[in-house]
Amino acid sequence: MTMQVNETDTVLLRRAGSFCILTLSRPARLNAISTQMRLELRDRLREVVADPGCRAIILTGADGVFCSGSDIGQMGTTEMPPAERLGILHDIVRLIVQAPQPVIAAVEGVAAGAGLSLAVACDYLITAEDARLIPAFVRLGLIPDSGILWSLPRRVGPARANGILTRVRQMPVDDAQMLGMVDLVCRSGATLNTALGICQDIALAAPLAVAATKRVLIGNIAALEQAFAQELAEQASLRRTQDHLEARAAFRERRPPVFRGH
């Protein structure tokens, strides 16, 4: 197994034969998605998606955590406009959805907010039995983003997706599997090996046939682009609300937010 990495990388790329493993790596921040991580993940995905020798892609997280979502500490900074930050996540989801190779999410620990969106966008979603699946968006006064308003209904149906995304709670893994949100549950610490086992099955298939199957199953990609456009419009409005500002303040002060609907 070979690895491309330097000390400042937040996304690590390992190659295991014809498989590529992308690891989100900001363990001190529970692998929260910083601006740097967005850019690196997009670049790494572009690299492996375009590699004809790559037959399957695994997305996972370092130190027993998948991803705690967008880095709330960077929200509201002047580092990058919010629409541009969200647009990079849209690029990442497009790459996952439209990749000719199957993409497998191997989720240990927490998958929250945009981290959950990335996992749900993958072709296969494997979780540990003690994983914590947390939509989180509405608790921040924001609309669910990163394509989950498109990808989750495809897995569980619109009514169930509405029930999952509009409640502030952790989604039990067993419930998530029963509803079809999660494809496979395994013991803690075993998700990556389980994903590699699925890759072995994928490697037995003709890659052009696999790519064609994915293209047909995606269906009308315009619906995903419409979801992205609606996300950008709604988030621009919601980011100006007092509720969203209160959610950010509550996060910094480690207290429950008090929403007033304005």
Q: Do the beta carbons of residue 125 and residue 181 sit within 8 Å?
A: yes
Q: What is the pLDDT of residue 2?
A: 58
pLDDT given for residue 74 in this prediction:
81
Confidence (pLDDT) at 168: 84
Binned at pLDDT 50, 70 and 90, residue 251 comes out as confident
The residue ranges of every structural domain in the chain are 2-188
> Residue 200: what pLDDT?
96
pLDDT on residue 101: 98
Query: Which strand ranges, in their side-by-side order, compose the sheet holding 19-24?
Result: 2-4, 11-16, 19-24, 56-61, 103-107, 124-128, 184-186
Q: What is the mean pLDDT of the chain?
A: 94
Q: Cβ(127)–Cβ(107) under 8 Å?
A: yes
pTM, to two decimals: 0.93
Tens digits of per-residue pLDDT, 5-50?
555 899 999 999 999 999 999 999 999 999 999 999 999 999 999 9
The pLDDT of 165-191, averaged and rounded, is 95
Q: Which superfamily, per CATH, for 2-188?
A: 2-enoyl-CoA Hydratase; Chain A, domain 1 (3.90.226.10)
